[in-house]
Amino acid sequence: MFIYYLDLALRSLRRNKALTALMVLAIALGIGASMTTLTVLHVLSGDPLPGKSAQLYYPQVDPQDIKGMSPSKEPPDQVTLIDGLNLLHAVRADHQALMAGGSVPLQPEQSSLDPFYVDARYTTADFFVMFDAPFLYGRGWTEADGDAKARQVVIAKALNDKLFAGENSVGRTLRMAGTSFRIVGVLDSWQPNPHFYDLNTGSYAYSEQVFVPLQTMLDLHLSRSGSNDCWGNGGGGTDNILPSDECVWLQFWVQLDSPAKAVAYKEFLTHYSQDQKTLGRFQRAPNVRLRNVMQWLDYQMVVPDDVRLQNGLAFGFLLVCLVNTVGLMLAKFMRRAAELGVRRALGASRRALFAQLLIESGVVGLVGGCGGLLLAMFGLWLVRQRPSDYAALAHLDLSMLFITFVLAVCATLLAGLLPAWRACQIAPALQLKSN
C-alpha cells in the first residue's frame, strides 16, 4: 500500500510541476537557512573535551570586600593568586592546575626570523594530564620543576614546525623575554573549542604556542594579559607588574573523578572560605560555586549573541516557509477534490486518503530536505568566508546531516496535516455530481 501511495504521490507531484517546485523551494530555503545557523550553533556550543569535561570543575570562591566590585550574588569569575596557590597546595582534587594567559616576545636563534610575540599559558604541572593534552615529543614539567621555577617550556606543534621544521626539539633552547628556556615537550595539534579554561583570550580557535610554569612566570615577571578585576584598594598591575592581592586574575581548574568527590570538594571550598573569613582575609559569608565544563560555558554564555540571533531569525524564516507550504499544499489537495471524491466513492476510508496525502507531503519534505542540505552546505561555505574567529569551525557533521532530513520531513508532514485533514472532509457525492 505504501509503495502504491508513493507511486500516486509521485504522479500527482509530477502533474503540477510549478506548484510542486514552489513547495520544494520553500522547504529547501527554510531548511537550508535554519540548518546553516543550527550547525554553527551546534559547533559553537559543543563539548571541548568529550568524555572528560564532566570530571573537570571550575571552583569559585568569593574573596571580595563587603562593598565589592560587582553587585551580583555570583562570586568572581577568577581567583586571586593567594587563593589559587592555597587551593593548589591543598591538593584536595585528583588533579588541579592554576593558570593565567599572556604573551612573550620570542627571539629565534635563526637570524632569518624577526623576533615575534607568541601567546603563552602560564600554568602548573597537572595542566597537561588534566586536559588530556597530547604530547608529540617529550612530556610536561614535573611539580618539583615548577616549584623550582625551572626555565622549562612546552611548545605547540605549530611553533615547533615553524622554528625546528617539525623535528624533535626536546632538550633544545628557546629564548623568550631575554631568558633561555629548555624545551621539555612538544604538544601535538591541540585546540579545545571553545577555549574553555580561559575565555578571556577569545572563546574560539585560540591556542597558546608556549606553556611555561606559573612559578617561573611569577619569578621573571613575564607579561600577562586577560581579565583582571580588583576591588578595595587593589591596583590593576599593568603588563608585567603583578596585580595586587585584591585582584582576581587566575583560573583554577580541578579534576574530580566521581560526583561524591565533587560534593566533598564543594564542602572543602566552603570550609576554606570560612577559614579565610576567620583569618580576616575574606569579609563575605562563604559563597562558592563548583561548575563543570559545560555548566561553566553555559554560565559564561560563550556562544556569541549574533549567532543566537541568526538562529532565531532562521527559524522565523522556516516558520514563514512552512505556513507558505501549508497554503500551497491546501491548494494542491483541494484541486484534486474530484479525484479524492472518486476514491472515497469507491470505498477508500478517510484514514486511507489521509495517509495517501501525508505520504505525498512526506515526499515533498524529502526532496526539499535534499535541496535544503545543498543550500545549508552553501550557507556554511558562506559562513566560513566570514571574518569571525569561529568561521573555520563551521562544518556539517553526520548528526547534523541526519537532523536536516528529520527536520525537513517532520516539518513538511506537520505542514501537510491541516490540508490533508481538510481534503478528507470532502463529501464524495458533491464532487461526483459537479463533474
Residue 273: CB minimum distance to another protein, A: 27
Q: Are 83 and 61 in contact (CB under 8 A)?
A: yes
Q: Which residues bind another protein (CB under 8 A)?
A: 18-19, 22, 25-26, 29-30, 33, 105, 114-117, 178, 236, 238, 305-306, 308-310, 313-314, 316-317, 319-321, 323-324, 326-328, 330-332, 334-335, 386-388, 418, 422, 435
Which of 107, 270 has the CB closer to another protein? 107
**Nearer CB in complex with another protein: 27/288:** 27
Q: How large is the angle between the packed helices 350-384 and 2-15, nearest 10 degrees?
A: 70
CA distances from 238 to 104, 128, 177, 185, 221 (A): 15, 28, 17, 30, 11
Helix or strand or coil: residue 216? helix
329 vs 409, beta carbon nearer another protein: 329
Beta strands in 108-209 (DSSP E): 116-123, 135-138, 152-155, 173-176, 179-187
Task: Pick the closest to residue 361 from 314, 309, 313, 410 (CA basis).
Answer: 410
Looking at beta carbons only, is 306 or 397 nearer to another protein? 306
User: Using an 8 Å Cβ cutoff, are 141 and 169 in contact?
Assistant: no
* Min separation Cβ 272 and another protein, Å: 31
| Nearest residue (CB) to another protein, 269 versus 318 | 318
* Cβ density class 407-419: b for 16+ within 10 Å, e for less: bbbebbbebbbeb
Residue 277 vs 422, nearer CB to another protein = 422
Cell of 19: 506548484
* Inter-CA distances, 86 with 89, 90, 276, Å: 5, 6, 11
Instruction: Quote the least distance from Cβ 38 to another protein, whole Å.
Output: 14
The alpha carbon of 16 is separated from its chain's Cα centroid by a whole number of angstroms, namely: 44
Please, what is the minimum distance in Å from the beta carbon of residue 64 to another protein?
A: 16
Specify the residue, 185 or 372, whose C-beta has the smaller distance to another protein. 372
C-alpha cell at position 237: 598591575
Separation CA 350–CA 332 (nearest Å) = 18
Min separation Cβ 330 and another protein, Å: 6
Q: How far is the CB of 210 from another protein (least distance, A)?
A: 15
Task: Give me the least distance between CB of 177 and another protein, in Å please.
Answer: 8
